Structure 1
């Protein structure tokens, strides 16, 4: 139970609190309270998009897996009608396959790559680079110069992979701080690619705190802060215009009568928050974004439902933050992300681990896609809107017919999962 002082400070509705503590899957509709100004502006997203475009030649030079000649980091938008039929859904279903993003194999490539590139650009300018061609920064001479600098990050895994692997590709040293219970295969992958992995007792937050302290003590280190980084957030937000272009190429209309509904697995909130922010910039009221969180780790739901700008953790309401979806196992949400989602996010639904296992199997059998459990959390979303009383009421209030909508399930990771680990998940 929440301590008396916390109960007074955070006014979670009693019925919601009971259901969260009982680990009941639920759908929560965001009341859209605006408590503070946006910490991010559209101009910030424009700058991130421009930087990623300029850095394309460098990425093409340093990432062998990248097939796009202009160095575009992007994932395909795949049909998911077979999954829709298996889950008794309606409308058009699509899978945004971020598990196929090159090098990193997860949604974290978007923000993580952007922050590494921004740091590389800033560092190079300090060392005398004229800024004419990003591709120059892939030369042996620049790799040697970058070797004096280190990027540090605290991560449950995928952000560490994103930051660590691109840092090493550009010549930077990289250090990833992880909790002891983070996936062993992710730690091993990082070490095999030359990234230093430091393990900590405690959870994700403990690893972040330790990494930050180390980076602050070294003037040649840069800390990538998943909770507060505007660079990460704006890198994720570029996904909005990328998805819009893909929908246009597939001749898919997005309108009030045929809205876009996007379901985003959520950990600390930065990646889904950035994507949702970017989508709202492009589509406005024609898009509705929902976050998916594990029943044991609903950090963004708890923060937004509290109606407070002060931090509230899932531990404060008695939850243990233990879930099969290790990428979503975050106790306290990013306040930057929740500030941007105040009146942009439609709401949050929670998912049990047993459902993630079912969705993992369906994704492999029906779509031929190898995902990790956290990447499947959004699969529950269309069912909540169509079949629950709360979901039907929300649809009626917003004049949304799920049968006329385009439903995008955002697949956030799994591209680098070893087959032995994936087969074990299926067997379990």
Structure 2
């Protein structure tokens, strides 16, 4: 980006200067609307996704016996983590008013991260579409038939490709290979070695790049276009991925009702979602706003080196600006969040839906990792800990936001929900390496 344009952007958005210096910032989205609407996506698409997942439940129980308990449902619990709340309060010398909960997507079945939602859904939807089109399946059938050798042989004619920093590739690789597809995962330079190794072990083809996430996605997209039997799962633009993530919202509402968590005008819900290119947190955020309306306050969390969604939303430029344009290097230990350019589709939808974003330094991710293990015996990968910093940022730098929205007096009845996006599949040696850094 030429200096003149950069200077103009910094002048118009003073917070950009702090971000260019890799400072941790809290940004309020002033375009947020109480009754947000978008023509780019509809709740009907999320409801269709939920129905598709229900149809696949009998297959999933056969393919992954650990899902028998949940009736083939890929879902995670919510749990209160009071000891972590206390540890954060002591570490940062402040009070976090309200309840403090974790949405445990780090333990999601099959691939152990939030990507098990959107990634697995898009693979299943593609499999259903192919099987129906070729007379192998009807929607009224028992989908357990998909576990037969005949159907696996059928899917072996086809390829699924994706560009990924790691977790999305894992969910698609594991699910795709289980069905019988050929799977090609284009992985960026920041992807962890253990994720590449696990994918290869499952039988996926892994193509590695020296460049970052955007290049891996673009190369994957171009290669897939050359093969008519290849379906490319586009993390930057896929509505199917988005729909799979959005399903989480209605399920969360049921969980809240079962555990006595009230969400209304007097009991605000604050949700903190780690954000990379935007698909996962965007889909969840969309669903949450549709379900809980103005009573949910949603903040995206990004590393100081990779705040692509924050700068895209702040400037309104979305994918037309990258973190490199403001002088950042996009290098972070939070590998799932190491994205230099946000999804235009997600950014456009989120303009009126989310309440703001904040950034977090890598050292804070490791501080949270240490505290969570010591206080709750809880392990999350570093990128998932970006959510833990949300209540700290809100209490330290979001007082104007709370005042403006009439929330200050309601905070004692508030619920803070940190969305834990991954961690249960991290190998022991990698955990120990993270702990050394912590």
* TM class by smaller structure: over 0.9
1:65 counterpart SS class: helix
Once the two structures are TM-superposed, the CA of residue 322 in structure 1 deviates from its matched residue by 0.3
Q: Which residue of 2 aligns with 1:352?
A: 361
Q: After superposition, where does 1:23-422 map in structure 2 within 5 Å? A: 23-32=22-31, 37-88=38-89, 89-128=96-135, 129-133=137-141, 134-308=143-317, 311-388=320-397, 391-400=398-407, 401-422=410-431
Partner Cα separation in structure 2 for residue 132 and residue 69 of structure 1 = 21
Q: Which residue of 1 aligns with 2:93?
A: none
Is the Cα contact below 8 Å between 1:382 and 1:407 reproduced in 2? yes
Partner Cα separation in structure 2 for residue 69 and residue 349 of structure 1 = 35
Residue ranges of structure 1 left out of the alignment (5+ in a row): none
1:238 counterpart SS class: helix
Root-mean-square deviation over aligned CA pairs: 1.7
Is the Cα contact below 8 Å between 1:38 and 1:339 reproduced in 2? no
| Residues 90 and 326 of structure 1: CA distance in aligned 2, closer, same or farther (over 3 Å) | same
Partner Cα separation in structure 2 for residue 135 and residue 50 of structure 1 = 16
Partner Cα separation in structure 1 for residue 37 and residue 111 of structure 2 = 34
Partner Cα separation in structure 1 for residue 16 and residue 304 of structure 2 = 12
| Residues 13 and 163 of structure 1: CA distance in aligned 2, closer, same or farther (over 3 Å) | same
Partner Cα separation in structure 2 for residue 387 and residue 335 of structure 1 = 30
Q: Could you state the TM-score of these two structures normalised by the residue count of structure 2?
A: 0.94
Is the Cα contact below 8 Å between 1:2 and 1:317 reproduced in 2? no
Q: How many residues align?
A: 425
Is the Cα contact below 8 Å between 2:298 and 2:354 reproduced in 1? yes
Q: Could you state the TM-score of these two structures normalised by the residue count of structure 1?
A: 0.96
1:338 counterpart SS class: helix
Is the Cα contact below 8 Å between 1:84 and 1:90 reproduced in 2? no
Moved over 6 A (4+): 33-36
Partner Cα separation in structure 2 for residue 379 and residue 276 of structure 1 = 17
Once the two structures are TM-superposed, the CA of residue 90 in structure 1 deviates from its matched residue by 2.2
Once the two structures are TM-superposed, the CA of residue 242 in structure 1 deviates from its matched residue by 0.9
Bigger drift between 364-373 and 71-80 goes to: 364-373
Partner Cα separation in structure 2 for residue 217 and residue 331 of structure 1 = 26
Cα distance per residue 1:200-241 (max 9 Å; x no partner)? 121011111111111111111100000100000010000101
Once the two structures are TM-superposed, the CA of residue 127 in structure 1 deviates from its matched residue by 1.3
Is the Cα contact below 8 Å between 1:12 and 1:306 reproduced in 2? no
Is the Cα contact below 8 Å between 2:319 and 2:343 reproduced in 1? no
Once the two structures are TM-superposed, the CA of residue 12 in structure 1 deviates from its matched residue by 6.6
| Residues 300 and 2 of structure 1: CA distance in aligned 2, closer, same or farther (over 3 Å) | farther
Cα distance per residue 1:370-426 (max 9 Å; x no partner)? 2100001011111222222xx011011112233221100000001110010001110
Partner Cα separation in structure 2 for residue 181 and residue 307 of structure 1 = 27
